[in-house]
Amino acid sequence: MAITEYLAERFPFPNHPRIYPEDLEDRAVCREVQSFLRTDFLALRQERPTTTIWFAPATTPLSAAAREAADKLIAAVEPLLAHERSTLFAQWCIADADLALMLQRLIKSGDAVPEKLRAYAEANWKRPSVAKWNALPRGKTPS
């Protein structure tokens, strides 16, 4: 988060794309979502690391602790996506990329994700900037 906040301040809108919402309350929620995604979900991160997104998906079912974390994630973010948008707010923000990445941990390994969240994650995955980032070489598959 410190890096994205630095970039937002170092390269401010309107000369560069906005990565945090303009509205103060939305910006606070954006940062709350980012913090939530980074400070929780240890079991889920351990069982569905980012390597399961770009390399081989996980083949084992989620443990009880990881399933509980996935359920907590889903319960927390579903209300934020009660609208028919593919973004958390009126405009895309960095928390959309972060949330889509977390959801892809589950999606890419075939875990249960509600269709609304799956569609949200896929729409964000198709954003040109995110697709470009996803296309970067990742090196060899970790052993």
Q: What are the residue ranges spanned by the domains of the chain?
A: 2-134
Rounded Cα–Cα distance for residues 94 and 141 (Å): 27
> Residues 39-87: pLDDT tens digits?
989 999 999 999 999 999 999 999 999 999 999 999 999 999 978 789 9
Give yes or no for a contact between 81 and 23, defined as CB atoms under 8 angstroms apart: no
> Residues 9-23: pLDDT tens digits?
888 888 878 899 999
Rounded Cα–Cα distance for residues 108 and 48 (Å): 9
**CA Rg value for the chain:** 15
Residue type at 4 in one-letter notation: T
Positive or negative, the Cα torsion across 40, 46, 47, 48? positive
Write down the pLDDT at residue 9. 86
Rounded Cα–Cα distance for residues 125 and 132 (Å): 10
DSSP-based three-state secondary structure for 125: helix
User: What's the fold here for domain 2-134?
Assistant: Glutathione S-transferase Yfyf (Class Pi); Chain A, domain 2 (1.20.1050)
Give yes or no for a contact between 20 and 27, defined as CB atoms under 8 angstroms apart: yes
The model's pTM is: 0.90
Write down the pLDDT at residue 141. 66
